[in-house]
Structure 1
Amino acid sequence: MARLRFLLIFLFAGYHSGPVRAQLSQTLRLEIPVSATAIQSFDVTPLADQGVMVTTQEGGMWLDNSPPHFTFRKYDTQLRPVWQRDILEDRLMRPVMSFSSGQYSYQLFRGIDNNRFRVIRLNTDDGQLDAFESALIEQMSIQQFKVMGSQAYIGGYFKGRPIVLAFSFFDRSVRVLPGLYANHIEISGLEVDEYNQEVNVLVHSTKRHCQFSVRTYGYDSKLIRSLNFDGAQNSLISGKILPVNENESLLVGNYSSDCTPYSQGVYVTRLRRDSLGFVDGDAAINDIQYIEFSQLANFFNYLKPRQQERMLARANRKKEVGKSYKYRYRLLVHDLIPTPDGLTLVAEVYYPHYRSTTLANGSIRGTDRYDGYQYTHAFLCGFDRAGKLLWDNCLPINGVLSRDLTQKVQVSQLGNKTILAYPNGGQINTEIIQGNTVLQKPEVVRLLTTDGENERVTFSENDELTPWYDRHFLAWGVQKIAARQNYALQREVFYINKLSYTLENELPNLRTATIKKNAEPKR
């Protein structure tokens, strides 16, 4: 059997002097050998202080006729094996999307040449598996998948029109949520509200004025209300909803001033319920606050000082003559983070990157090759429970180009301080902030292999990072590793590194390194 190897390292790199001195150290490492004969994909689901689940898929991928085989492995917080479960799916079923909530992880499959679909529910506590199957609308594309209680919500398009299905695990019934199937409408988001047992479908119109709507459905799939925001002046692009108490939620997102995907700033509004549970829609629409990027104190800190001055000077000249300055930023908005004061909004700024093609004679053919998404920076905004902007901050993102548009920057709290981190090429870039203030400037932490300095990473891809529990992060990806004495001998592994933050007064005086090897659990 292949073996899983663990590394316990207290690695302390030099840290930035300043008001806060803290270190991100690599404390554990898990390596799973990658198959040399089968195509594999890996996924990681953090389970807070209950551990972490690693999902390995073989087969059932693009241009692969073999049946999909899933292996689920749970590890504790010391990355020691807890249990393992395997699923060999029908070869006519293909995995589509996954979702995790509470103690359950869900995997959605659909038929290749029929309209059947199946939801696999995995209890992450003990590994118990349940399967639920029914039928989709034929030729429906799938873009959203969420679960609340014993009901799954599947969103997508049928004949170019949006549609959301509610699928009951109890009686296998499928219902279509009303009021969505229309022309010139796109789904911006699908959110389940466990607190109020509601489902919010956020849609926007592609016609003139780009109306944005939040349509809320009860657990019985009936439409409760529809909030419609006219886009004549400012059109809402995205929205995230966070309940702040039993009577109130905040709707936060980004907006455009010209009905395009390019953001002009962020907005926030309150969704307040009366004693009967009805939301005051007029107040939510009329009291919305628009915050232009130039109103954020630190949004442009990813630029050099002279670039910042030039940009703000251009914006001010426009405003002096009564015109608005058009910012052109594409945003990837994260789920809202609840805080004791209210919430934190995190968004990453990116743009599609194209590469010029050089011909044999040395001339440039043009920028006709799409290369991926280039990230420039992330910004954070803190709001109180009434939707008032308290602070903002910025994290430059250097050298990150991704084929898929996914969240790179991860956020974790360390007391009253906020840790920002993102992976890039086998390294972790970090920064510590507190409100508007940068407490510790960006630093880079290199991920070590099992044999530390005696090995070299020759290739790293699919690097990901996520907060885990307390002050710990998980970093993972696929690496090729060679011994420094012999680069010809390489191994390819899927790695998981546990990273932990330590404040200055907690740093030990001793530096130790211990390697421990355990056998992989038998299948």
Structure 2
Amino acid sequence: MFRIRSIWPLLLLSFALHTPACAQLAQSLRLEIPSDPNQAEAFDVTPLAERGVLMTIRTGGFYDNTPAVFVFKKYDIDLKPLWQTTFKQDTKYRAIQTFDNDRYVYHLFREYDTNKFQFVRLHLEDGVVESFEGTLLDQFDIQQFKVLGGQAYVGGYHHGRPVVMAYSFFDGTAKVLPGMYVNHMEISSLEIDEARSEVNVLVHSSRRRCRFSIRTYNYDSKLLRTVDFDGAQNSIISGKLLPVDDHESLLVGNYSTDCTPYSQGVYVTRIKHGDPTADVSADAINNMQYFEFSQLQNFFNYLKPHRQQKLLAKAKKKKEEGKDYKFRYRLLVHDLKPTADGLTLVAEVYYPQYRGNTLAYGGYLRGADRYEGFRYTHAFVCGFDRKGNLLWDNCLPIKELLSPDLTEMVQLSQQGDRIVLAYPNEGEINTEVIQGNKVLKETEKFKLKTSVDDEKVTFSAQDNLMAWYDRHFLACGFQKIAPSKNMTNQREVFYLNKLTYSAESLTDKPASATTKKSAGSDR
């Protein structure tokens, strides 16, 4: 969600821009909403694929008891308005989480310091707003929010123990999913399987050898099965599920060897469904494949060549001595992307960045006043077939990208057997085109344009990029814009740009194209 400190009358400007030659990023449309830096306002942009885009503009209710007002605006793929709806929230409620699917956008609100909640459902077809009030748990620290059919699933912690609750929009009842409320366990993710009408809760424990489990519930909140992974040798850090057919799903994620958040590589295994007599846990463990980072062909291509060779040589020497080389990478794993062959995994590598290198008095960790944000070093992409076999891997170096929040920055556009990878940074979009292990086009920078030729962007903040549909992206954020001849007369806007990348004209490069220019990072 994007926040600014002011609001002016909402003026929307839409125009067509010059389209560059093929195999480049083209900016075709742009919306600008003027803003005033003296008040509070927040923007939320939700891509709806070929159905358009939803913009949510919120004013009020941030720091005081003024009511929050939500303006929902839906646009088509040409950024032309389709409908607009306004919803005024009661001052007693505070926004907690959002969730969207093909038909609705849901907002979860909570009355401050009580167990009373409100669910707001926005119909994407016509903008009709419905609200549902209910009671969940008091002192409920909410982390996840998903919806399946007519039920909302809210996950979080109650007195330090994990809880997932199912709330019915039909009768307003709520119940706790069984088998979750235990000590020393954390919720890794909450995933909805719409095809099977099932809810999967992925949990991991810091004790009992770092066990990882998948607990699957039906629509009636009955526990159907539990798949356990013993972390005696390799402990699973995170997992994402993707159904590949009626009888099987793939579980993909990252793992460590010492029960820490630092990844040693990625794994994949098959989860079978439908046979109540089968030992699902044993099958999943037997099918498990681990891929250490040093086994990936292009994972370290973000490093300078000499640094890459030195690191791989050190890892190889350790293995020859019968020792394990400990990688220390933190990964942000995206949701899995289904493909005709199987799936694509995207993960971003990051680390928390602090100012300076000294520790506080007494040996404590660096204080919050020294914390700057999350520094991204690179992203890697892996292709798997439907049986979980690794087909290829590739790497996108990320240079000088620091974010105050840990969010998915790299976006993916699948165009046949080619993939366009892109991320925003300081008013620019960085792109790279890959085809399996090969790099068809090295990293390029594209500067976002304004609505007038003789204007200049003087400041850009909270830049965000989203894959939209087909070969199109949405870029948004805040900019200060001034005439080229009068830099003191600036205006501040929230922008929304439609971008298009056509990779079809790119020709395949020879095998040597797998060696890429690095971003120059040694981390």
Q: Distance in 2 between matches of 1:80 and 1:395?
A: 34
Contact in 2 for aligned 1:215/1:225 (Cα 8 Å): yes
1:496 aligned counterpart, secondary structure:
strand
CA shift for structure 1 position 7 = 2.3
Partner of 2:402: 401
Partner of 2:267: 267
TM-score by length of 1: 0.91
Paired letter, 2:443 = P
Partner of 1:156: 156
Paired letter, 2:321 = V
Contact in 2 for aligned 1:274/1:280 (Cα 8 Å): no
Partner of 1:331: 331
Partner of 1:515: none
Q: Which runs of 5+ in 1 are unaligned?
A: 14-20, 359-364, 507-523
Partner of 2:512: none
| CA distances 1:128-186 after superposition (whole Å, capped 9, x unpaired) | 11111101211111100001111100001000000000001011110100101011011
Q: Which runs of 5+ in 2 are unaligned?
A: 1-8, 359-364, 507-523
CA pair 386-2 structure 1, distance change in 2 beyond 3 A:
closer
CA shift for structure 1 position 208 = 4.5
| CA distances 1:413-468 after superposition (whole Å, capped 9, x unpaired) | 1122100000001110000001000001100010001013x111121111111111
CA shift for structure 1 position 60 = 2.0
CA pair 305-276 structure 1, distance change in 2 beyond 3 A:
same
Partner of 2:175: 175
Contact in 2 for aligned 1:271/1:279 (Cα 8 Å): no
1:312 maps onto 2:320 in alignment: no
CA pair 2-273 structure 1, distance change in 2 beyond 3 A:
closer
Partner of 2:17: 9
Partner of 2:452: 451
| CA distances 1:378-413 after superposition (whole Å, capped 9, x unpaired) | 001100000000000000011110110000000011
- % same residue: 59
Partner of 1:23: 24
| CA distances 1:444-497 after superposition (whole Å, capped 9, x unpaired) | 010001013x11112111111111111111000111111111111111111000
Partner of 1:247: 247
Paired letter, 2:15 = L
Contact in 2 for aligned 1:247/1:277 (Cα 8 Å): no
CA pair 292-23 structure 1, distance change in 2 beyond 3 A:
same
1:22 aligned counterpart, secondary structure:
coil
CA pair 208-113 structure 1, distance change in 2 beyond 3 A:
closer
Q: Distance in 2 between matches of 1:396 and 1:43?
A: 28
Q: Distance in 2 between matches of 1:502 and 1:190?
A: 35
- Equivalences for 1:32-43 in 2 at 5 Å? 32-43=33-44
2:233 aligned counterpart, secondary structure:
coil
Partner of 2:521: none
Q: Distance in 2 between matches of 1:495 and 1:105?
A: 22
CA shift for structure 1 position 503 = 4.6
Q: Distance in 2 between matches of 1:152 and 1:10?
A: 45
CA shift for structure 1 position 106 = 0.6
Paired letter, 1:111 = E
Contact in 2 for aligned 1:479/1:495 (Cα 8 Å): yes
What is the root-mean-square deviation in Å for CA atoms of aligned residues?
Answer: 1.8
Partner of 1:474: 474
1:4 aligned counterpart, secondary structure:
coil
Q: Distance in 2 between matches of 1:2 and 1:406?
A: 28
Paired letter, 1:353 = Q
| CA distances 1:7-56 after superposition (whole Å, capped 9, x unpaired) | 2112427xxxxxxx611100000011124442011111111111100001
Partner of 1:514: none
- Equivalences for 1:106-505 in 2 at 5 Å? 106-274=106-274, 280-356=280-356, 369-452=370-453, 454-503=454-503
Q: Distance in 2 between matches of 1:293 and 1:60?
A: 46
Q: Distance in 1 between matches of 2:227 and 2:178?
A: 15
Q: Distance in 2 between matches of 1:184 and 1:411?
A: 36
1:5 aligned counterpart, secondary structure:
coil
More strand by share: 1
Paired letter, 1:422 = Y
Paired letter, 1:266 = V
TM-score by length of 2: 0.91
1:313 aligned counterpart, secondary structure:
helix
Q: Distance in 1 between matches of 2:452 and 2:278?
A: 61
CA shift for structure 1 position 505 = 5.4
1:314 aligned counterpart, secondary structure:
helix
Q: Distance in 2 between matches of 1:504 and 1:85?
A: 39
Contact in 1 for aligned 2:427/2:463 (Cα 8 Å): yes
More deviation, 130-139/375-384: 130-139
Q: Distance in 2 between matches of 1:60 and 1:145?
A: 21
More deviation, 111-120/365-374: 365-374
Contact in 2 for aligned 1:333/1:346 (Cα 8 Å): yes
CA pair 310-196 structure 1, distance change in 2 beyond 3 A:
same
Paired letter, 2:181 = Y
Higher relative contact order (CA 8 A, sep 6+): 1
Q: Distance in 2 between matches of 1:140 and 1:39?
A: 27
Q: Distance in 2 between matches of 1:204 and 1:147?
A: 22
1:307 aligned counterpart, secondary structure:
helix
Contact in 2 for aligned 1:272/1:279 (Cα 8 Å): no
1:262 aligned counterpart, secondary structure:
coil
CA shift for structure 1 position 502 = 2.9
Q: Distance in 2 between matches of 1:34 and 1:278?
A: 59
Paired letter, 2:392 = W
Q: Distance in 1 between matches of 2:28 and 2:354?
A: 39
